[in-house]
Structure 1
């Protein structure tokens, strides 16, 4: 299994902490059922942390007219709404909630030019709540696909997630399904698409980042 670079430091810290605790317990209470149980639990927890930073082997799905899922997870919002930070008009919002068990890499849903990037400090409300889009810690990335199509992608930290990593740089050209960043331990990604975009997914549908077609731009 390949491990994402964002996990190296955290995995090392967890490994050292678990090793120290297990050693202290062993020399305190000795071997026995209680130690065996704690040791098994600690190993299981460590493997879950390692699994969180896994990098799946995938062949990206690409297409000039397609919007590809920017994250693994479940679709929790499909609605027309007002986007107040950048567009300041009505957009079609599609939101994907990532549980701690999902792969937490984020991908660009389209190719294009990064026109706008901002990181906003904020709260750590549960990521599936509607107000998390405007009140939680988050990043906003605006991608100009061409002169007629511009979309907004927003990474949102959740109650468990405490760090958002984004590789976006204003003025940089990016490719569809290129890695955009990583959100650590539970989170959400919102897409704000032009009205009239054909949506191919449904509420509560599970989607796979860089694989599932979210929708298609209208001709």
Structure 2
């Protein structure tokens, strides 16, 4: 079962959501949902995919969701999650994809992601304070197929930490201190499966 909703239908959704115990996919992006509303989701333990791309979601909202341990896809693209909030990600051991692009993460927050070893897709773009240390923390996520850390302070020196990620096919480091020549060298010498990468020219 899949539900996608817009803001005007949100109230109607809350009134009936408790009975949707077999719901697997819920999209609440671009709605007015806030932390207080997420209590209604805590019983949806069959959820596998949850999209909460909403600016009103904070660390407190993520804490409410820790019972949803079956999640494999979690989109918090625009949510205001800080380093402190990332500690709640440890409850989601089955995550295969994660988007955290609200701009509030530092390297300390990325350290709390390093044990999510089932991740194949990770998007941490727009977090301007991330440095080469963030890539060092991610170097053990060897299942990663796609990684986006654009708009950060990562440099060419940080690329060495990506060498263990042999499954990477997509790598985005735009608007960082990374050059196209070093990206090409990484692809040619260490990551032969890398077919999409930026900067590439």
Please report the TM-score for the alignment, with normalisation by the length of structure 2.
0.22
Question: Which structure features the higher share of strand residues?
Answer: 1
Question: Which structure features the higher share of helix residues?
Answer: 2
**Structure index of larger Rg:** 1
The answer to which structure, 1 or 2, has the higher relative contact order (CA under 8 A, 6+ apart) is 1
